[in-house]
């Protein structure tokens, strides 16, 4: 499998996806046709509106992008694609639409057979075992919280460190993930904005300038630096 698991599409103060300008051409190398999955609908925008945003960026990088909803069938869309990009938005809306539209099995098979997949935010949550570590509001009820499980852990995108000056009594991200581990066993990678994970077959690598925070059910959380994550997954 070939995956780009990206915490956020946009870092503060920079244009959409621009911090990945060097990474994207190195990732999508199998051809120019990139299929966009707009189902997460950030801010509730339509599939067409969202596809336009992503297409503008990918066109500038020399790719041909089409939204999956513009094909006669999802199978035709997958057959056309040399790569897939799933944009962020609401994870529950995204996952429910993937299940309800029948895309789950089709996309799962294609990616497991080598179709490169990039997901930002909600789109990156789907690469893990479940969406149970999303930060999103559960505005619709999907038929399951199970996601693709292409990597043997869960992602927490937009990972935020506790703010010691905060007077807000809502749970910190760390508390939430610790609660997750009372009910679930898999490792969680807290991926800060500006970080991403690159997977190519057996190779799995943390990229970007920031460290990531690793949560296990039976250990104290700890930081890992950019680089090869294979030892972590074996250990």
Q: Which of 29, 70, 73, 175 is close enough to bind a copy of itself by CB under 8 A?
A: 175
Q: Give the CA dihedral 131, 14, 58, 62, nearest 10 degrees.
A: -140
Q: Among 72, 168, 202, 220, which residue sits at the site for a copy of itself (rule: CB under 8 A)?
A: 168
What counts of helices (H) and strands (E) characterise the chain?
8, 12
Q: What are phi and psi of 94, to 5 degrees?
A: -60, -50
Q: Closest separation between CB of residue 212 and a copy of itself, Å?
A: 16
Q: Is 136 a known active-site residue?
A: yes
Of the residues 9, 130, 136, 195, which is catalytic? Answer: 136
Contacting residue, 141, 164, 202, 225, with a copy of itself by CB under 8 A:
141
Determine which residue in the list 23, 30, 145, 149 makes contact with a copy of itself, applying CB under 8 A: 145
At a CB cut-off of 8 Å and minimum separation 6, what does 147 contact?
A: 95, 125, 126, 127, 128, 129, 130, 131
Give residues 6-25 in contact with a copy of itself (rule: CB under 8 A). Answer: 8, 10-13
Alpha helix positions (H), the chain? 23-27, 47-60, 74-80, 91-100, 103-112, 122-125, 173-180, 230-234
Give the interface with a copy of itself as residue ranges (CB under 8 A): 8, 10-13, 41-44, 89-90, 92-93, 131-141, 144-145, 158, 160, 167-171, 175-184, 193
Q: Which are the catalytic amino acids?
A: 121, 136, 158
């Amino acid at each position: 499998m070939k995956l780009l698991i990206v915490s956020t599409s946009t870092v503060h103060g920079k244009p959409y996806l621009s911090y990945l300008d060097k990474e994207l051409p190195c990732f999508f190398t199998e051809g120019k046709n990139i299929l966009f999955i707009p189902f997460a609908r950030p801010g509730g925008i339509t599939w067409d509106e969202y596809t336009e945003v992503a297409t503008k960026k990918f066109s500038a990088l020399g790719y041909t992008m089409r939204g999956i909803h513009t094909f006669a069938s999802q199978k035709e869309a997958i057959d056309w694609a040399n790569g897939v990009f799933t944009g962020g938005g609401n994870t529950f809306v995204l996952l429910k639409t993937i299940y309800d539209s029948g895309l789950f099995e089709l996309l799962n098979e294609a990616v497991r057979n080598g179709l490169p997949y990039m997901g930002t935010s909600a789109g990156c949550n789907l690469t893990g075992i479940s969406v149970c570590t999303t930060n999103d509001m559960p505005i619709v009820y999907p038929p399951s919280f199970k996601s693709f499980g292409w990597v043997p852990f869960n992602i927490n995108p937009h990972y935020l460190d506790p703010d010691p000056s905060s007077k807000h009594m809502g749970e910190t991200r760390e508390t939430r993930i610790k609660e997750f581990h009372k009910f679930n066993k898999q490792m969680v990678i807290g991926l800060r904005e500006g970080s991403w994970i690159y997977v190519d077959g057996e190779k799995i690598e943390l990229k970007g300038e920031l460290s990531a925070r690793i949560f296990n059910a039976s250990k104290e959380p700890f930081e890992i630096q950019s680089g090869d994550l294979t030892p972590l997954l074996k250990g």
